[in-house]
Amino acid sequence: MLFPYGVLFLEDRTARPLYSAGHLCAVLADLVLLASALVLSFDARLTGCLARARLSSVAALIAVQDLPLVVIAIADPAHSAQSYRLTAGHLVSLSMILLLLNHGVRGRRPIRLQPMLLGFLLGLAVLAVRLVLMTLDHSPYLTLRHPGDLLVILAIVGLVAISCDLLLRSPLPRWATVRMTAGIAILFVARLYATARGATSPPVESIVGVVLCSALLATSVIPMLLETLSATTERETTLRQRAAEAEATVQHDREVVHEVRAATAGIVAGVHLLTSGQVPPGPRRTALQHMVDAEAARLGRSLAEQGQELSVLDLDEIVEPLVMSQDVIGHRVTWQPAHHHVVGRADPLAEVFNVLLNNARRHAHGHATAVTSRAVDDVVEVRVTDCGPGIDPEIQDRLFQWGARGAFSTGQGIGLQRAHRLMLELGGSLDVDTSRPAGACFIVTLPRADVPTARLVAASNETSGLAG
Question: CATH code at 440?
Answer: 3.30.565.10
Residue 259 lies in a domain: no
| pLDDT of 256 higher than 80 | no
Alpha carbons 451 and 466: distance in angstroms, whole number: 24
Q: Does 304 lie in the same domain as 192?
A: no
* Whether the predicted pLDDT of 159 surpasses 90: yes
Say whether both 181 and 311 belong to one domain: no
**Predicted pLDDT at 401:** 81
Average pLDDT over residues 292-315: 76
Host H or E run for residue 2: none
Q: For residue 216, is it within any domain?
A: yes
Q: Is 334 domain-assigned?
A: yes
Residue of higher predicted confidence among 65 and 21:
65
Q: Is the pLDDT of residue 459 over 60?
A: no
Contact 411, 405 (CB under 8 A): yes
pLDDT value of residue 323 = 86
The verdict on residue 126 lying in a domain is yes
Cβ distance 23 to 33 under 8 Å? Answer: no
Task: Check whether 336 has a pLDDT greater than 60.
Answer: yes
What is the pLDDT at residue 145?
85
Residues 93 and 193 both lie in one domain: yes
Predicted confidence at residue 168, as pLDDT, reads 92
Rounded Cα distance, 5 and 17, in Å: 8
Half-sphere exposure of 94 (CA within 13 A, CB side): 24
**Which range has the top average pLDDT, 12-26, 326-340, 386-400?**
326-340
CB count within 10 Å of CB 301 equals: 14
Same-domain status, 317 and 455:
yes
- pLDDT tens for each residue of 399-454: 788 766 665 555 666 788 888 988 998 889 999 888 777 788 899 999 988 655 54
The H or E element spanning position 200 is none
Tell me, yes or no, whether 283 lies in a domain.
yes
pLDDT for position 410: 57
The pLDDT confidence band at residue 306, using thresholds 50, 70 and 90, is low
CB 155 within 8 A of CB 161: no
Cα–Cα dist 187/210, whole Å: 5
Is 251 part of a structural domain of the chain? no
pLDDT at 5: 47
Mean pLDDT over all residues of the chain?
Answer: 82
Same domain, 190 and 54: yes
Does 246 reside within a domain? no
Model pLDDT for residues 172-192, shown as the tens digit of each residue? 999 999 999 999 999 999 999
Nearest Cα neighbor of 131 from 92, 94, 172 is 92
Residues 89, 228: one domain?
yes
φ, ψ dihedrals at 306, nearest 5°: -85, 120
- Residue after which a domain boundary falls, among 182, 212, 240: 240
Confidence (pLDDT) at 10: 47
CA–CA separation, 51 vs 172, rounded Å? Answer: 7
Q: Which domain holds residue 204?
A: 3-240
Please tell me the total count of domains within the chain.
Answer: 2
Given 240, 265, 300, which residue is the final one in a domain?
240
In a domain, 273, yes or no: no
Q: Are residues 169 and 310 in the same domain?
A: no
Choosing from 240, 266, 294, the residue where a domain stops is 240
Residues 236 and 287 in one domain: no
Is 449 within 8 Å of 428 (Cβ atoms)? Answer: no
**What are residue 383's DSSP bridge partners?**
372, 443
b/e code 314-343 from CB counts within 10 Å (16+ = b)? ebbebbbbbbbbbbbeebebebeeeebbbb
